[in-house]
Homo-oligomer: A and B are copies of this chain.
Amino acid sequence: MAADDQPVPVFPKPVTLRDVAAAAGVSVATASKALNSQGRMTAETRERIRETARSLGFRPNSLAQSLLRRRSFTVGLLTNDTYGRFSLPLMSGISDALVDNGVSVFLCNVEEDPRLGQLHVEAMLDKRVDGIIATGKRIDRHLPVDLSDLRVPVIYAFTQPDPDAVAFVSDDAGGARLAVEHFCGLGRKRIAHVTGPASFAVVHDRAQAYRDVLTENGLPAAEPLLGAWSEAWGHEAVARLFDGPRRQDGKGERPDAVFCGNDQIARGVIDALRERGLSVPGDVGVIGFDNWEIVAEATRPPLTSVDMNLAALGREAGLTLLSLVGGQPAAPGIRKLPCRLVVRQSCGHPMDG
């Protein structure tokens, strides 16, 4: 057996409580109590055991502890977004909240595959996770898994929840209000809205908020332009808004502000405006959505954008799951967390007159 001749690294056996007890000359029960500040014994005995444990490098086996306590201090994080700039800050926030509380996170990518999802959920349950957080790349789509009637608490974050579940999402309408009201406050009068495809629920939420704010401010209600989430669509939308023939009925006047459905569209809009010799924010103000910093800071000028506070949302979701796991009740329902406007230079200062 030539293969057996290879030097295989051999890993030392972990030291167990039994080892500590033997080394300290006590029973495992006493050793356990000494290390956990339980039971009664002389201070010397306790300290001696602790010192022995330290010197042996003893670390309790979490598996055994979990088995006994019926609590694994582990939660499952389900997502269908691998590449996402949304799920990243979200997951980061969730993870931080949990880890700060001594809870580890199982990461599970379920793609769009229900079989894979089922598999993962069962694996997590088998590993006795204390709870599950479901996360997605779209707020209006279900994960391809059934999380109802699980034997652990479930929280939904930035994904379509089951009815009667506890869920956290961003307040997209509120975010849109922030942007449009900011334009209004700056004195912009003809505010356009260029956004993504109609198949996204947020497109309608934001568009409605856009209309509402315009109405409230007595401004002309233009119809939002629905397209794609891409720079190219930003270019095309500018062509439609600015290259058409001017009409005399008041409509059709050139916008002096564009509220965009995401930062890529906004990037396209800004570039297209510059190509037409229009200055941003001088002639036209632009606000994006998502606050994807790498894009928002690369536009010229840097882009004002709505931030969905996804890290904070994740943190909130994580903490809520923890309290659920701890036995605290939480009212089912969807909690919308506020967005915030990150003002850079693309929206300009208050206008005269």
Contact = CB atoms under 8 A, between A and B. Distances in A.
Contacts of A128: 61-63
Interface stretch (A8-16, A36-44, A206-214): A8-16
Interface residues of A, number: 58
Contacts of A92: 82-83, 109
Contact of A59 (B109, B122, B152, B153): B122
Nearest to A76: B104
Contacts of A264: 294, 298
A243 interface: no
A232 interface: yes
A62 B128 CA distance: 7
A247 B294 CA distance: 37
Contact of A230 (B230, B298, B329): B298
Interface string A227-240: 00011100000000
Interface stretch (A17-25, A66-74, A180-188, A278-286): A66-74
A126 interface: yes
Given A9-B153, A60-B126, A63-B72, A106 B106 contact: yes
A8 B329 contact: yes
A127 B8 contact: no
Nearest to A88: B83
A266 to B, nearest CB: 12
A113 to B, nearest CB: 11
Interface string A106-126: 111100000000001011111
Contacts of A351: none
Contact of A106 (B8, B102, B105, B329): B105
Contacts of A153: 9, 11
Interface string A93-107: 001100100101111
A9 B149 CA distance: 10
A77 B107 CA distance: 9
Given A126-B59, A298-B232, A11 B151 contact: yes
Contacts of A301: none
Contacts of A66: 63
A127 B62 contact: yes
A95 B107 contact: yes
B151 A6 contact: no
A329 B7 contact: yes
A126 B38 CA distance: 21
A294 B232 CA distance: 12
A122 B60 CA distance: 11
Interface of A: 6-9, 11-12, 14, 59-64, 66-67, 72, 74, 77, 82-85, 88-89, 91-92, 95-96, 99, 102, 104-109, 120, 122-128, 150-153, 230-232, 264, 267, 271, 294, 298, 327, 329
27 contacts: A7-B329, A8-B327, A9-B153, A11-B150, A11-B152, A12-B151, A59-B125, A59-B126, A61-B128, A62-B123, A62-B126, A63-B66, A63-B67, A63-B128, A64-B67, A82-B88, A82-B92, A99-B109, A102-B123, A105-B106, A105-B107, A106-B106, A106-B107, A230-B298, A231-B298, A232-B298, A271-B271
**4 smallest beta-carbon distances between A and B, as pairs:** A107-B107, A62-B126, A82-B92, A11-B151
